[in-house]
Amino acid sequence: MSGRNLSFPKLCALGGDMGQMGIAEIHHVRPSQVRGAASLLLDRGWFIETIACLDLREGILVNYFYAHFTEPGRIVVRTLVQREEPEVPSIADIFQGAEWHEREAAEMSGVRFPGNPNPLPLLLSEDEESHPLQKAFEDRKPISNIVDEFIKAECWPAFISREEIEAEAEKRAEEAAAAKAAADAPAAPKAAKAAKEAEA
């Protein structure tokens, strides 16, 4: 996997093992660097496989999968976008095939791709407003729950500060607990009654 020397601007390149996880290289970039990576990869003869978004506690992780017709391996260019402003510049003018991948990612995960020539819904109905692949808050996991090493990497803090997320999570958890307690209090006798009925 060495000797490829893809030197596009990036935060860091870390992880990836073709044998272990089927991904040769993982490059972390800022959203603004996605286009640079794409054009460099196109010059080197890579083609786009797909775009996959992960909805995480830290934000939405947008993964661009690239593969090559003659070289083995798979390169993932990933970037993290904040949920408040989920925008990644479109690469549809570099890889035309990415237009559909972006449209799919946009409607499924709620990431916006400014510059996409045809930003219509692709698979869902045109009046669908929700993003099905966005998870509920309590289902969202921090990236450390999936891959540890990204947290250890120095590039991760560039995306997001860890404390912020934890603080928000704690706050949410407290709120949820309070709400639950409030809801449980009157519901408790009811629940007992229901259980009795079920037994009978």
Partner 1 sequence: MSVFPKGDFYTRHFQPSGKEETLVVNMGPQHPSTHGVLRIIVELDGEYILRCEPVLGYVHRMHEKMGENRSWVQYWPNTGRVDYLHALAWNWAYAGAVEKLAGIEVPERAEYIRVITCELNRVSSHLLWWGAYLLDLGAFTPIMYAFDDREEIMDMLQMPTGSRLTYCYYRFGGVSADLSDEFLKRLSRFIPYLRSRLPMYRDLVTENVILRKRVEDVGHIDEDMCRRYGCTGPVVRGAGVAYDVRKAEPYSVYDRFDFRIPTYPEADAFARYMVRMDEIEESLKIIEQAIATIPDGPYLSKSAPKPKWSAPKGEACFAVEGARGKITYYVASDGGRTPYRVKLRSPSYCNLSCFAEAAKGVILADAVSILGSLDLVIPEIDR
> What residue ranges bind partner 1 (CB under 8 A)?
18, 20-23, 42, 45-50, 52, 54-55, 63, 65, 67, 69-70, 72-74, 94-97, 99-100, 108, 118, 120-126, 132-133, 135, 141, 145-147
Residue 168 C-beta: closest distance to partner 1, Å: 19
Rounded-to-integer distance, Cα 184 and Cα 198, Å: 19
User: Which is closer to partner 1, CB of 3 or CB of 69?
Assistant: 69
Instruction: Classify residue 28 by burial, with Cβ atoms within 10 Å: 0-12, 13-18, 19+.
Output: buried
User: Which is closer to partner 1, CB of 84 or CB of 127?
Assistant: 127
Residue 181 C-beta: closest distance to partner 1, Å: 26
Using DSSP, how many helices (H) and how many strands (E) does the chain show? 6, 5
Q: How far is CA 179 from CA 37, 106, 183, in A?
A: 46, 32, 6
Residue 92 C-beta: closest distance to partner 1, Å: 10
Rounded-to-integer distance, Cα 68 and Cα 48, Å: 9
DSSP classification of residue 53: E
User: Which is closer to partner 1, CB of 84 or CB of 126?
Assistant: 126
User: Which is closer to partner 1, CB of 34 or CB of 52?
Assistant: 52
